[in-house]
Amino acid sequence: MLSARARSCATDFRPWLMGLILLLACAGLARAEQDMIRSHGYSYFGDLKYPADFAHFDYVNPDAPKGGEISIAALGTFDSMNPYSRKGRGGLLSSMMYESLLGDGPADAYGEGYGLLAESLEYPVGKEWVIFHMRPEARFSDGTPVTAHDVLFSHNLLLEQGLPSYALAVKKRIPKAEVIDDHTIKFYFAEGISRRSLIDQVGGVPVWPKKWFEETGARLDESRLETPPGSGPYMVERVEINRQIVYARNPDYWGEDLAINRGRHNFDRIRVEYFGDDTAAFEAFKAGEYTFREEGDSKKWATAYDFPKVREGYVIKAELPDGTPPTPTGIVFNLGRKVMQDKRVREAIALGFNFEWTNESLQYGLFDQRASFTQDTPLMATGLPEGDELAFLQSLGDVVPPELLSEPARMPHSSDPARLTDRKNLRRAMKLLDEAGWPVGSDGKRRNAAGEPLRVTFLFNSSSDGTLGAVVESFMSNLERMGIEAKLEKVDAAQYTLRERDRDYDMVFDAYAAFLGTGTGLMQRYGSSEAAFSLFNPAGLASPLVDAIIEKSLLTTSKEDQDTSLRALDRALRYEFFMIPVWYKADFWVAYYDQYEHPDPLPPLDLGYLDFWWFNAQKAAALRAAGALR
């Protein structure tokens, strides 16, 4: 038992102790509050351009009128309105009905997302988890509320039935998600991994109605024409397989007055017309069957836009600035094929591509030659690595080949513009093939020690434009001069899609994604873990060097260090040489009937003709009165 004095001391001590506990608790709460971030948007470095009370994005016209129609072309065929499955060929824009917690980033600020279905989010400084607070007013197009239960369902559906490369990557990084209440959801992130692409990953998941999937029994991994209601500004109005898709603006769209949407989604209808090939599509544009065309064929741009409607001013032909890095398009090698695993063979084949002759003879000198995956940006590797980039590469250890440190960044070879076959390059190619064990026989064909011919197939989509076909045929003829059995396989769009997914080719004209920031999406596109089946990695690139750079890039904590790592990544991707880089242009080539208007100047990161352009009803009436449009 306590003595009277002890009890007295304890009694006197109790108020002081309780006060101390309260003080410590308040201090802890204050520290916890300081360690929490609450925001209306998200960027990894926390540097949002737009404040919480922004009225609209700077580049939009907030008073743009609503109305009218814009129509565009698509080539080939489609048999599905589900773009999230490997089965079937999804219709163009068939994901546009679905929104996410964070909206698409603004076209004048890279790497930022602002609340769309979510009005705010909160997360600790360490980004161990994130909570999204959703807008109670959000509705699907059938009028039912969008809830946290729908978000969780959609997240899990992608993991269970989505593309394998996506599901594998996300499961490793996001082990748990839970609904806190009808409009609040929390995502937990794995320990010991980079905090990159976690909050923006879950914030960008398309949200589908759980009820619709449960009632219909539909699956995400199946081909189907039925679409679940979306919460976005557009709904599917009409679908005619292989002919036409029409999307109509939802007159009851719940989010029309949000700051993130003001001045956007201005057309009443977006119509997609399908054509068998680009020649038919161009003739249809001239006839007015669709009204907006983004041109990619240099021959058409240089010679075919002199038709009467252009001369009379009914059709506008314009070159509009593009501030994004050019898409890394080119001739991609399938590294899964044994013949393509020898870098000397790839280098020899590449020497058969004559950019200078191609550009002058087939493309009217309108293109520049692409060298980099981050062309014409500060992230483009140049010369020898030095300074911070050199230190970064050296820190990776033996995974970095010595020549990467001692040789300039790889640049495309130069060729004689006066003739298709550059004899100097042909001699270099022949030497490389000899060294690789493919000597020329008495019949002029190259065979290995087992007597097998050096044979390559180039898979080509027959609906592509005519100029690209001429480019590829010229390239293949140079390969034949080297003694290679080069076969060009032209297939229709449906076969092309199937064979591309199965990587049933030696070479294909395809593209990778340019990058301005780091993120785990780089692993899906360029990393080894999903290389065997990722649809975003058509070469099947699996490089320990590239993996090491991406992994360390994901751990950078400043923009300066991030940019250094991405410069090293560009250098390494060019070193691995899994693609023959071709050409690029610095501007968008567009032609459209003079019934559309756009902000001036345009934002640097998006042309935005389906986003923030608008319809001029008076101009449209004038076109019809003149007979330029039906």
Q: Which amino acid is at 440?
A: V
Looking at domain 41-63+98-216, its CATH class is alpha beta
If we measure between CA atoms, which residue out of 169, 194, 173, 191 comes closest to residue 523? 169
CA distance 250 to 252: 5
Convert the pLDDT of each residue in 18-72 to its tens digit: 554 444 454 454 444 558 999 999 999 999 999 999 999 999 999 999 999 999 9
pLDDT given for residue 168 in this prediction: 83
pLDDT given for residue 373 in this prediction: 97
pLDDT given for residue 3 in this prediction: 42
Q: Which helix (H) or strand (E) holds 15?
A: helix 4-34
Query: Which whole number is the average pLDDT over 515-520?
Result: 92
Over 80: is that where the pLDDT of 211 sits?
Answer: yes
Confidence of residue 179 (pLDDT cuts 50, 70, 90): very high
If we measure between CA atoms, which residue out of 575, 164, 609, 213 comes closest to residue 381? 575
Cβ–Cβ contacts within 10 Å for residue 1, how many? 5
CA distance 403 to 399: 12
Query: Which whole number is the average pLDDT over 93-114?
Result: 96
Convert the pLDDT of each residue in 451-470 to its tens digit: 999 999 999 999 886 799 99
Over 70: is that where the pLDDT of 159 sits?
Answer: yes
pLDDT given for residue 166 in this prediction: 83
Convert the pLDDT of each residue in 485-506 to its tens digit: 999 999 998 899 899 999 999 9
CA distance 417 to 426: 14
Over 60: is that where the pLDDT of 7 sits?
Answer: no
Query: How do beta strands 269-275 and 69-75 pair?
Result: parallel
pLDDT given for residue 465 in this prediction: 66
- Longest pairwise C-alpha distance within the chain: 115
Among 3.90.1200.10, 3.90.1560.10, 3.40.30.10, 3.10.105.10, name the CATH number for the domain at 330-582: 3.10.105.10
pLDDT given for residue 466 in this prediction: 78
* CA-to-CA dists, residue 629 to 189, 291, 314, 437, angstroms: 54, 9, 9, 62
CA distance 619 to 630: 14
CA distance 267 to 582: 36
Same-fold call for 41-63+98-216 versus 234-322+586-625: yes
pLDDT given for residue 25 in this prediction: 53
Lowest mean pLDDT among 47-61, 248-262, 519-533, 568-582: 519-533
Lowest mean pLDDT among 162-166, 178-182, 268-272, 350-354: 162-166
Instruction: Look up residue 587 and give its two tokens.
Output: 């501007």
Cβ–Cβ contacts within 10 Å for residue 475, how many? 24
pLDDT given for residue 385 in this prediction: 98
- Contact between 131 and 121 under an 8 Å Cβ cutoff? The reply is yes
Give pairs for 222-225: CB < 8 Å, separation 24+. 222/82, 222/85, 222/87, 223/79, 223/80, 223/82, 223/85, 223/87, 223/88, 224/80, 224/81, 224/82, 224/88, 225/80, 225/81
- DSSP alpha helix (H) spans, 407-505: 423-435, 466-481, 493-501
Count of alpha carbons within 13 angstroms of residue 502, beta-carbon side: 10
Instruction: Supply the angle between the helices 148-161 and 164-173 in degrees, to the nearest 10.
Output: 120
Instruction: Look up residue 344 and give its two tokens.
Output: 């000397």
Omega into 601 within 30° of 0, i.e. cis?
A: yes
Query: Which whole number is the average pLDDT over 498-519?
Result: 94
Confidence of residue 10 (pLDDT cuts 50, 70, 90): very low
SS3 35: coil
pLDDT given for residue 29 in this prediction: 44
pLDDT given for residue 18 in this prediction: 53
pLDDT given for residue 463 in this prediction: 85
Convert the pLDDT of each residue in 298-345 to its tens digit: 999 999 999 999 999 999 999 999 999 999 999 999 999 999 999 999
Q: In sequence order, what are the beta bridge partners of 118?
A: 134
Query: Which whole number is the average pLDDT over 267-285?
Result: 96
- Contact between 565 and 393 under an 8 Å Cβ cutoff? The reply is no
Confidence of residue 520 (pLDDT cuts 50, 70, 90): confident
Query: Which whole number is the average pLDDT over 65-83?
Result: 96
Domain boundaries, given as residue ranges, for the chain: 41-63+98-216, 234-322+586-625, 330-582
Return the CATH number of the domain spanning residue range 234-322+586-625.
3.40.190.10
Lowest mean pLDDT among 12-16, 42-46, 108-112, 567-571: 12-16
User: If you average pLDDT over every residue of the chain, what do you get?
Assistant: 93
Query: Which whole number is the average pLDDT over 180-204?
Result: 96
